[in-house]
Amino acid sequence: MGRFLLGCLILAFVVGTVITSVTLVRSDELAVVRRFGRILPENAKPGLLFGLPWGMDQVNRVSLKDLSITVGWTDAEVDENNNALTPGQLLTGDHNLVNVQAVVEYRVIAEQVDKYVLMEPRVKSLIARAADAAMAEWLAGQKIDDAILKGKTELESFLQSRVSVWIRPYDLGVNIERASIVMIYPPNAVRESFNAVGQANTRMETEMNNALQYKELKAKKAAEKIYAIERETGAYVREQRRAAQADADNFLVRLAEYRLLSKENPRHLNNLWLDEVTRIYAQLRRSGRLDVLDNYIGSDGINITQFPLQKKR
């Protein structure tokens, strides 16, 4: 009986030693071994890890998959009458409140897994604080409208870069992979009013776009009209130039004729003057603006009551 009990104790000791000295490291994990509290220089890779039993070795298995932490606003009920800011309720640059919730994804750096093991209890809290500070910084520089409209895009890249920079001095052994904005909207108490303002802004933008389209249409028609007027003006100018050139050429021809004929007949200029006066008088006569005075002589002399004279019928 005593031998049987001793054998059982020896078997239990052997089994316990084997169980506590063997660790299975999965394919997506690395293991950090602490031997008597001191971290061994080499990290264990996936597979079976054999070490010292009975607490001599402490094995920390670390996943190399993407990890995440949710920061900011939560769906927990809050007292609407409480004036204190709740987590994730931040101020914009124009002193409006917005509720913001984000998810920060990070991954353990394989080459720095020993640093991660030492800082693991503080990793999530430090990332969360850095993310809260980054969101507060970005929102403080935005107006409420811009924050709502651009928060899904600009804030995500800003959050990722800021958190990466701010946690670097702590040597957490992690890399910030990405940041996603889950929601960003005004508090419940003013959300309806904000939505009404947003709808009004949308209508205003629509009206402005319509006005700009109308302006462009009118400008296009005006440009077409200006082009047509310029073409007509150009054609008129060319026509007047041709007419003026023809008159000038005709004058030069007549001047040459006059000079030639004046040598032969000194009274040629008088003849030209008489021809021109006769032509003008004939035109005035036909138009009724010139008549013989005999037609207006009466018993009391010349009777002319109006000038110019009426055109004869």
CATH number at residue 95: 3.30.479.30
What does the block give as tokens for 79?
Answer: 């007292």
Does the residue 114 lie in any domain?
yes
Please tell me whether residues 118 and 161 are part of one structural domain: yes
Which phi and psi (to 5°) does residue 265 adopt?
A: -135, 105
222-250 pLDDT, tens digit per residue, is 999 999 999 999 999 999 999 999 999 99
DSSP secondary structure string for all residues of 203-240: HHHHHHHHHHHHHHHHHHHHHHHHHHHHHHHHHHHHHH
Q: Whose CA is closest to 99, among 124, 82, 78, 126? A: 78
Residue type, 70: T
Please tell me whether residues 113 and 21 are part of one structural domain: no
CB 19 within 8 A of CB 52: no
Q: Give mean pLDDT, residues 165-174.
A: 93
Looking at the predicted structure, is the pLDDT value of residue 194 above 60? yes
Does the residue 141 lie in any domain?
yes
Which of 22-26, 37-41, 63-67 has the highest average model confidence (pLDDT)?
A: 63-67
Does the residue 30 lie in any domain?
yes
133-142 pLDDT, tens digit per residue, is 999 999 999 9
Count of other CB atoms within 10 angstroms of residue 214: 10
Which domain covers residue 172, as residue numbers?
67-76+85-186
Please tell me whether residues 53 and 154 are part of one structural domain: no
CB 146 within 8 A of CB 95: no
- How far apart CA 218 and CA 226 sit, in angstroms, is 12
pLDDT category of residue 146 using cuts at 50, 70 and 90: confident
Domain-terminating residue out of 186, 217, 239? 186
Does the residue 220 lie in any domain?
no
In the chain, how many domains are there? 3
Does the residue 204 lie in any domain?
no
